[in-house]
Amino acid sequence: MAREEALHIGYPPPLATGTPVNRVDGKLKVTGAARYAADFTADGLVYGFVVSSTIASGRIIAIDASAALETPGVLLVLTHENRPELPLHDARYKDQIAPGGMPFRPLWDDRIWYSGQPVALVVAESLELARHAASLVRIRYEHTPHCTEFAEVIAHAYPPSQEKGGFEPPPAPRGDAATAFVKADVRTDAFYTTPIEYHSPMEMHGCTVVPDAQGRLTAYEKTQGVQNTQQYLMNVFGLAADDVRVISPFVGGAFGSGLRPQYHLPLAVMAALDLKRPVRVALTRQQMFNFVHRPQSIQRVALAASADGKLAAVIHEAVSETSQFEDHCDVIVNWAGQLYACDNVRLGYKVARLNVCTPGDMRAPGATQGLFPLESAMDELAQKLQIDPLALRLINYAERDANRDLPFSSKALRECYRQGAARFGWAGRPLQPRAMRDGAELIGWGMATGAWEAMQRPAAARAVLTRDGLVVVSSSTADIGTGTYTAMTQIAADALGVDIDSVRFELGDSTLSEAPIEGGSFTVSSVGSAVHAACSRLRERLAALAREYGGETFANAARAEGEIRREGAQLVCGADRRDAITIDELLTRAGVERLDEQATVSPEDRQQQYSMGTHSAVFAEVRVDEALGTVRVTRVVSAVAAGRIVNPKTAASQIAGGVVWGIGMALQEDAQFDHDLGRVMNHNLSEYHFPVNADIDHIDVLFVEEPDDVVNPLGVKGVGEIGVVGVAAAIANAVWHATGKRIRDLPITLDKVFA
């Protein structure tokens, strides 16, 4: 389907889009009125607590739940031995983003795949009782050998199957990278590693499942896609669409962890159907660390260049971890073939199995891991060439996407470099390391490039005008804290020609218009385009009714002059307000209770003729205490080209949040395993380190103007992902510039600085 064209409307919009509007849902959140998945309640609500496996591989020999069941107030202990029969089939079981392989089925059989796997659900009258009773369940296991040590399985890595889960392999080699590498004047060749990282959102995963007397279910769930979750439940439990409704009005952070339905949801549904009572299941913070995560990786990047800095060869090969039962894949290496101009490129990607839960998408998946070694290697190459790292990137600036041999729909990366460097003061950077000092602290400056895709998915929206002048716009999309409520309200207000107080946006309900999962930074592009189309139709229809039923002045209004406009709950006509009519009176004359318009917008065919993406230039300053080895990030400038910015305030907040995440990736985040137990040990927010307020100094975000009439009707690109990409590399490069020490293994901790 071609994109919807903006309809001609007879009165000018107030241009809410592009202004720094406060979050329309902000008051609800700060006053506690916003309700999350585990906040919903119902008569007769009971509570489930998950019992997690204590081994990483093996089988369950016996489960003794007698002590738990004898405890007053305990209603049910669900295990693989007494769970309900399920009608699921592999072909129907997958949701929108399931990777290849066998999807995880909680309580399916006695097999244990990883430590922390759910093996029972205890349901009781209170959460405290359920948790206590869970400690009374006794389980005997048969242990089999396990492996959670990545280094031990790298040799057994394999290319993931394209047929299983639709993974698109890296582009075919172009030129002869191996020969060009050997013959080049200057070369760098090194291995880099990134660790397992956990999403750790503020709101733990949880759900409240409410059955009715007819067996229909309402699931209040933490999810990034209510219709995706609805489809999952339909497939697993054999339910019709009318028999299951998923509601998720607010999500307390997800970053990719809520893309797939997780195991707590089917466990809660099993219990609710068995007991015929509402059931709430919420995971603990510790259980969140036996969950989806960013997969660890080891990557080789080899770059070669002529003496003048022109790239002669690019080789980027990566291995990341996956579970024993699914092939999770990240697009890690493809960026190396797109970001810089080079005729000889070889890319490779494999996965290796560990006894861990299947990894998942985590903010800018693939690009976050892949740009760290690539941008570090570019810095190392600049060092060997004795040229400025920014100059090296400009020498090799790509005017086309060589992976696909397509032009970019827009690419203002040069301007990101220019404006970001000017804001940071990059021109004053000494070429040699250890050249800047302040007392006991060495000062270093580093930079890196960021890139992410600009995507659009099919989406629909509905706009309803009521007699009081309020327009209720809706779509089944999500808001995971990124500002979807606000951005959609702004887009709707512009299309309608009203102020944002006249619009209410609704989301997070599977009964609303179709929308994709909120991920990949394509929500504003996709759902926003549908909102704009639906509201434009509504506005045109209202103007048509005014001309038909508003009287002679409205009937004679010339469209080209834009003489009909909205003022509050009425329409006025003419510059001198010669005539006016309330919306209530107009609808009464027209004989309708309300106006209702819907629109579905899909990417148009011409998008296939372009490569579409967002880009950034990240500049970082660090201070390294020469005696203590501590690293402080004191300044970051992030210059971003992301098309039209709907709300500079919330967009800048997204970029700044990504920078904070990048600081954590560079300096702190790391899952620590006991490999004998096969279990992550720092599974809490005191020992799994990430930045707090005291770790963050000055973050400067600037948006570079970037018109784009290809990406979608609005010309917008998402900013949720791009903020984190390249930050870790910029910091690592700054650490080298401060100390002269190149650290290729994240995070950059004291022991590595002193090594």
Does residue 656 sit within a domain? yes
699-725: average pLDDT = 96
Tens digits of residue pLDDT in 144-203: 999 999 999 999 999 987 655 557 789 999 999 999 999 999 999 999 999 999 999 999
Q: CB–CB of 599/4 below 8 Å?
A: yes
Calculate the alpha carbon distances from 53 to 135, 137, 270 in Å: 12, 11, 19
Across 331-480, the runs of DSSP E, i.e. the strands, are 345-353, 400-401, 406-407, 436-438, 441-453, 459-465, 471-474
CB atoms within 10 A of CB 213: 6
* 532 and 470 assigned to the same domain: yes
Q: Are the CB atoms for 288 and 362 separated by under 8 Å?
A: no
* C-alpha torsion sign, points 177, 182, 186, 188: positive
Of 471, 495, 544, the residue nearest 14 (C-alpha):
495
Q: Is residue 678 part of a domain?
A: yes
Read off the CATH number of the domain in which 476 is found.
Answer: 3.30.365.10
pLDDT value of position 165? 52
Is residue 429 assigned to a domain?
yes
Regarding whether 461 and 409 lie in a shared domain, the answer is no
Please indicate, yes or no, whether residues 79 and 134 belong to a single structural domain of this protein. yes
Which residue has tokens 């002869």?
Answer: 176
Band (pLDDT 50/70/90 cuts) for residue 577 is: low
- Predicted confidence at residue 568, as pLDDT, reads 82
In 11-144 the beta strands, taken as DSSP E runs, fall at 46-52, 58-64, 74-78, 100-101, 111-112, 118-124, 138-143
Q: What letter would DSSP give residue 170?
A: P
Residues 662 and 589 both lie in one domain: no
- Say whether both 445 and 488 belong to one domain: no
Residue of 195, 117, 114, 103 whose CA lies nearest to 147: 114
Q: Smallest Cα–Cα separation from 281: which of 60, 113, 118, 135?
A: 118
Does residue 398 surpass a pLDDT of 80? yes
Residue corresponding to tokens 């191996």: 178
User: In terms of domains, do 561 and 548 share one?
Assistant: yes
Whether 79 contacts 20, CB under 8 Å = no
Residue 454 above 70 pLDDT?
yes
Six-digit token string for 701: 């975000």
Strands 311-322 and 345-353: parallel
100 — pLDDT class (breaks 50, 70, 90) = confident
Checking if the pLDDT of 2 tops 90, the result is no
Dist CA 493 CA 17 (whole Å): 8
* Any domain includes 742: yes
- For 153, half-sphere exposure in the C-beta direction (CA atoms, 13 angstrom radius) is 22
Residue 231: burial class (beta carbons within 10 Å; 0-12, 13-18, 19+): buried
| Alpha helices in 238-281, H assignment, sequence order | 264-275
Instruction: Please name the helix (run of DSSP H) or strand (run of DSSP E) that holds residue 313, with its range, or none.
Output: strand 311-322
Could you give the count of Cα atoms lying within 13 Å of 281 in the half-sphere of its Cβ? Answer: 25
Band the pLDDT of 92: cuts 50, 70, 90.
low
Residue 207 in contact with residue 221, Cβ under 8 Å? yes
**Pairing mode, if any, of strands 217-221 and 206-211?**
antiparallel
Domain membership flag for residue 89: yes
300, 427, 492, 637, 658 from 417: Cα distances, Å: 26, 12, 34, 11, 19
Contact 451, 617 (CB under 8 A): no
Residue 747: cis peptide before it, omega within 30 degrees of 0: yes
Q: Does position 463 have pLDDT exceeding 60, yes or no?
A: yes
Boundary (domain end) residue, out of 289, 323, 342 = 289
SS3 of 428, please?
helix
The average confidence (pLDDT) of the chain is 94
676 in any annotated domain:
yes
CB count, 10 Å around CB of 551?
15
Indicate if 630 and 495 belong to the same structural domain. no
> Residues 30-54: pLDDT tens digits?
999 999 999 999 999 999 999 999 9
Decide: 273 and 97 in contact? Cβ < 8 Å.
no
- Summarised one tens digit per residue, pLDDT across range 583-615 is 999 999 999 999 999 999 999 999 999 999 999
250 and 130 belong to one structural domain: yes
Phi, psi (rounded to 5 degrees) for 523: -70, -50
Establish if 160 belongs to a structural domain: no
Do 668 and 555 lie in one domain? The reply is no
Number of H helices, E strands in the chain: 18, 32
Please state, for a pLDDT cut of 90, what percent of the chain lies above it: 89
Strands 406-407 and 564-567: unpaired
Cα separation, 136 vs 29, in Å, equals 38
With the C-alpha atoms ordered 327, 333, 337, 340, is the resulting torsion angle positive or negative? Answer: positive
- Same-domain status, 751 and 619: yes
For residue 127, count other CB atoms closer than 10 A to its CB: 16
Count of domains for the chain:
3
The domain that contains 218 carries what CATH number?
A: 3.90.1170.50
Q: Give the closest residue to 222 by CA, choosing from 267, 268, 253, 266.
A: 253
Question: In sequence order, which residues have a C-beta less than 8 Å from that of residue 135 and are 6 or more positions away?
Answer: none
> pLDDT at residue 5 above 80?
no
Per residue in 194-231, pLDDT (tens digit) is: 999 999 999 999 999 999 999 899 999 999 999 999 99
Which pLDDT score is estimated for 162?
Answer: 62
pLDDT of amino acid 267: 98
Given 255, 289, 323, the domain boundary residue is 289
Which tokens in the block code for residue 54? Answer: 């204590």
In a domain, 19, yes or no: no
Cα separation, 28 vs 33, whole angstroms: 5
Q: Model confidence over 655-689: pLDDT tens digits?
A: 999 999 999 999 999 999 999 999 999 999 999 99
What is the per-residue burial (b if ≥16 Cβ within 10 Å, else e) of 559-584?
eeeebbbbeeeebbbbeeeebbbebe
Residue from 691, 673, 695, 693 nearest 682 by CA:
673
Provide the pLDDT confidence category of residue 9 given band limits of 50, 70 and 90.
Answer: very low
The two three-digit tokens of residue 107, written as one number: 């309580």
Cβ-based neighbours of 82, under 8 Å, separated by 6 or more = none
Instruction: Give CA separation, 411 vs 239, 332, 422, 558, 715, in Å.
Output: 46, 21, 19, 40, 13
Distance of CA 207 to the CA centre of its chain: 20
Detail the DSSP E strand segments found in 593-744.
595-601, 613-625, 631-641, 673-674, 679-680, 698-703
| pLDDT for residue 397 is more than 70 | yes
- Supply the pLDDT for residue 65: 98
Nearest Cα residue to 502 out of 571, 548, 555, 554: 571
Give me the active site residues, please: 721
Judge whether residue 17 has pLDDT over 90: no
Separation CA 112–CA 143 (nearest Å): 9
Residues 409 and 262 in one domain: no
* pLDDT at res. 579: 83
pTM over 0.85? The answer is yes
Looking at the structure, do residues 410 and 543 belong to the same domain, yes or no?
no
Range of the domain at 473: 26-33+457-602
Closest Cα to residue 190, out of 283, 304, 324? 304
pLDDT single digits (tens) 372-396: 999 999 999 999 999 999 999 999 9
Last residue of a domain, one of 234, 259, 289: 289
